Amino acid sequence: MRIFSVSHKTAFVVDHCPYMAESSRQLIECDMLTKSRSQGVIPLAPVSKSLWTCAIECSMEYCRILYDVYPTKKLVNYIVSDSEVHILNSWKQENQNTQELMTALAAVGPPNPRQDPECCSVLHGLVAAVESLCKITEYQHESRTTLMDTADRVANRGRIICLTNAKSDTHVRMLEDCVLETIQEQNKRAAGSDRLMPIQQCELVLVHIYPQGEETLVSDRQKKELSSVLSSEVHSVRAGRYLAGKLNVLVQQHFDLASTTITNIPMKEEQHANTSANYDVELLHHRDAHIEFIKTQPSFHCMNTSRDSGLKETVTLKWCTPRTNSVELHYCTGAYRISPVDVNSRPSSCLTNFLLNGRSVLLEQPRKSGSKVISHMLSSHGGEIFLHVLNSTRSTLEDPPSISEGCGGRVTDYRITDFGEFMRENRLTPFPESMVDAACRTPVERAKFQLERHTRYWPMIISQTTIFNMQAVVPLANLIVKDTLTDEDVLTCQKTVYNLVDMERKSDPLPISTAGSRGKGPKRDEQYRIMWNELETLVKAHVGTSERHQRVLDCISACRSKPPEEEERKKRGRKREDKEDKTEKNGKDTEEKGWTTDSERLKGVMEREKDEQSECEIIKDSPDSPEPLNKKPRLATEEQQPPEKSKGPVSLLTLWTNRITQANSRKHQEFAGRLSSVNSKAELYQHLKEENGMDVHENGKATR
């Protein structure tokens, strides 16, 4: 249904003239209990509703069903007419509920039989209804303002349902003519106004109500076009349950509803708690919930005439007693709100309470033979019950391939638990409409922004990271991703860094992954270098967020261990780095992507390291090959000094190594680096330093 169809606006016009106070002559016995109890008592006379009461309760029922199924965008304007017009509510969404209407109706009260019939007429109400249909609703307004240049696509259509007691067919003609004239008048007025819209289409539904036992003075008439704008239909109905039935059929026609009867609902008997009987409950909902039946079998076999609502059809579905409370995902193709036809009957309220308490009921198509076909499910969400349509045929989604067959499916050390934690930290919650933050971002934009911040440095697998495997880093890692840091937060981060320094001093082992390389992996100081580098990468990714974030980075730079030569080089490079900082601050966009390259570089370095190590390890493990010379200086800096200069006795190993070294050196050309070395130390990757600035020394390998 299009949003601005005739059903967008419904104006109820109820006649409040003296003749509506007449009795419907449908008698209701309310003195039932006493009959059997005490013989001596004369039962009270039965009560009977007035035409007015009948009209009100049936129109309220119409609204109840409408609001249950369409809580928004389908609006009712309720008008009562006697010698004047009483408009009980407006098109505003906040006015759209039955309680408010009931309160207003109580204030109006029943028609006064002593009022002068001459000055009372339903015409006042009809005129007011047309005027009201010209008034723009908040939805029309919103659409017009958002569409701007195509605002003329927003249509203005509506329906007037008039509940009255007409004198004759001529009287009905007169009412129709009046509506037609008023529309023409009002459309002229509306053309020149901003808050009004001309009516493009109007459906007039006249319901003539007459007391039981009387002959009707008005004949039924099918829908007829009175003009290009107005169509009209007349229903002549006896008061009481006939009227209720009629309005029930109308609400279904007007709002594309269909009926489903749930059958076989087991219910404990009120009197005998041990026995249970089966009951039926009829529900109304949008017609689309039956789309499968309508399309496949026009004369679907479980369609039958419902007892309650006259001629209309209902689909019967069988209750399947829920086995467990397990949450299962079903192939659901749609969910539609429901409204029970007989809302406060015991079977209805039992069913709705069961559902409102969080249980779900699967519904089965009644079949004489063959396997069970479950086609629908009833379940509530947030106090509203929905009829879910389940796919009962074969699904095109069957037998999907396993995710492990796809890209990255064979990687086994994903940080599944950590990402679960990440997801829980990034969960969403609804915010009130009015809450907009300083930067005018909607909550959902803020959520995306938060995701961006939280993922600036987020290695996906365990072997790619050290710091995220360390409990000690957690406080810093949690804080640094925040948009703003307090001084206390900075302090916590600093404490984390000091704690790491302490760990390094004590040479605590680090959870460096040894995956992919045999042996023990890198040495302790190497491990700490990797850890510090990664921590810097993480913090650097957030350094632009605020000055306090910068302070955390400063703390790391100040505290992290570096070989003395590196410190020196650092000083030399500082000037250059400062320059870089400035450029970084100038161009924030480039900085945002900064971590990617950083981490990539880090990854590269780590991999290179790993490769080298594993190579070394392999060679070391093999007894046949001599230990490579460049392995030596790695063990300790002291040993880098030539053995000749060392004091004390020379070990056999040293003697042997020296000999071999000399022998070997004759067999190959000396490395260019070793030739130009100072104190047998040469700077590696000098070209990198020129290309990338100071980052080079931080990979911790420049000394070799």
Partner 1 sequence: MPTVVLLDSSLSMTRPVSVEGSEEFQRKNLAVHGMTMLFEHMATNYRLEFTSLVAFSSLWELLVPFSRDYNTLQEALNNLEDYDKTCLEAALQGVSNVVQQEWGTSCPCQVVLVTDGALGIGRGSLRHSLQTVKQRVDDKKFPLPFPFPSKLYVMCIANAEELQATDSMDNLEQLINLNGGEGQIYTMEGPLCLKSVQSMFGKLIDQAYSPFHAVLRCGNLTSDVQVFPRPEPVTIDEEVDPIPKTVQTEGDEIGTGATDDTEEETSTNQMAGKSPNFCVLLHGSLKVEGMVALVQLGPDWFGMLYSQADSKKKSNLMMSLFDPGSEPLPWLGRMSQLGPASDAAENPYGEDDSKSPFPIQPKHKRSYAQNVTVWIKASGLQTDVQKILRNAKKLPEKTQTFYKELNRLRKAALAFGFWELLKSVAELLERECTLLPDSAHPDAAFQLSHAAQQLKLASSGDSKYAAFEQNITPMLTDFSGGGGADRI
In this chain, which of 275, 326, 396, 622 binds partner 1, going by CB under 8 A? Answer: 396
Closer to partner 1 by Cβ: residue 16 or 318: 16
Contact call for residue 604 and partner 1 (CB under 8 A): no
- Site track for partner 1 across 279-308, x = CB under 8 A: ------------xx--xx-x----------
Return the range that interacts with partner 1 (CB under 8 A); candidates 255-263, 383-391, 549-557, 692-700: 383-391
Contact call for residue 458 and partner 1 (CB under 8 A): yes
Rounded CA gap, 59 and 51, in Å?
A: 12
Closer to partner 1 by Cβ: residue 66 or 696: 66
Closer to partner 1 by Cβ: residue 444 or 660: 444
CB of 241 to partner 1, least distance (A): 7
Closer to partner 1 by Cβ: residue 167 or 448: 448
- Site track for partner 1 across 17-36, x = CB under 8 A: -----------xxxxxxx--
Rounded CA gap, 231 and 573, in Å?
A: 86
Main-chain phi, psi angles of 280, to 5 degrees: -115, 145
Contact call for residue 78 and partner 1 (CB under 8 A): no
523-529-531-537 Cα dihedral, nearest 10 degrees: -150
Residue in this structure with the two tokens 């003609």, named with its chain if needed: 173
- Ramachandran bin of 546, using left for φ above 0, alpha for ψ from -120 to 50, beta for the remaining angles: beta
Contact call for residue 3 and partner 1 (CB under 8 A): yes
CB of 263 to partner 1, least distance (A): 19
Report in angstroms the alpha-carbon separations of 697 from 291, 403, 441, 497: 69, 41, 42, 21
Residue in this structure with the two tokens 């949003």, named with its chain if needed: 3
Contact call for residue 370 and partner 1 (CB under 8 A): no
Number of residues that bind partner 1 (CB under 8 A): 136
- What is the footprint of partner 1 within residues 340-359 (CB under 8 A)? 340, 342-345, 348-349, 352, 356
CB of 490 to partner 1, least distance (A): 19
Report in angstroms the alpha-carbon separations of 88 from 113, 130, 131, 356, 450: 21, 15, 14, 31, 47
In this chain, which of 148, 311, 403, 438 binds partner 1, going by CB under 8 A? Answer: 403
Contact call for residue 431 and partner 1 (CB under 8 A): yes
Contact call for residue 154 and partner 1 (CB under 8 A): yes
- How many Cβ atoms are within 10 Å of 437's Cβ, its own excluded? 12
Closer to partner 1 by Cβ: residue 283 or 702: 283
Contact call for residue 73 and partner 1 (CB under 8 A): no
- What is the footprint of partner 1 within residues 132-151 (CB under 8 A)? 143, 147
- What is the footprint of partner 1 within residues 492-531 (CB under 8 A)? none
Rounded CA gap, 132 and 9, in Å?
A: 9
Residues making up the chain, counted from first to last: 704
- Ramachandran bin of 525, using left for φ above 0, alpha for ψ from -120 to 50, beta for the remaining angles: alpha
Angle formed by the axes of helices 524-540 and 547-559, to 10°? 170
Contact call for residue 222 and partner 1 (CB under 8 A): no
Contact call for residue 393 and partner 1 (CB under 8 A): yes
Contact call for residue 107 and partner 1 (CB under 8 A): yes
Q: Are 512 and 440 in contact (CB under 8 A)?
A: no
In this chain, which of 596, 637, 664, 680 binds partner 1, going by CB under 8 A? Answer: 596
Rounded CA gap, 463 and 515, in Å?
A: 7
Closer to partner 1 by Cβ: residue 127 or 479: 479
Rounded CA gap, 101 and 119, in Å?
A: 25
Closer to partner 1 by Cβ: residue 23 or 264: 23
Contact call for residue 439 and partner 1 (CB under 8 A): no
Report in angstroms the alpha-carbon separations of 207 from 123, 195, 247: 14, 30, 9
Q: Give, rounded to a whole angstrom, the gap between the first and last alpha carbons of the chain.
A: 76
Residue 425, classified by CB atoms within 10 Å of its CB into exposed (0-12), middle (13-18) or buried (19+), is exposed
Closer to partner 1 by Cβ: residue 356 or 618: 356
CB of 260 to partner 1, least distance (A): 15
CB of 498 to partner 1, least distance (A): 27
CB of 503 to partner 1, least distance (A): 28
Q: Are 136 and 157 in contact (CB under 8 A)?
A: no
- How many Cβ atoms are within 10 Å of 647's Cβ, its own excluded? 5
In this chain, which of 451, 558, 635, 663 binds partner 1, going by CB under 8 A? Answer: 451
Token output for 191: 């053309």
CB of 472 to partner 1, least distance (A): 23
Helix (H, G, I), strand (E, B) or coil at 101: helix
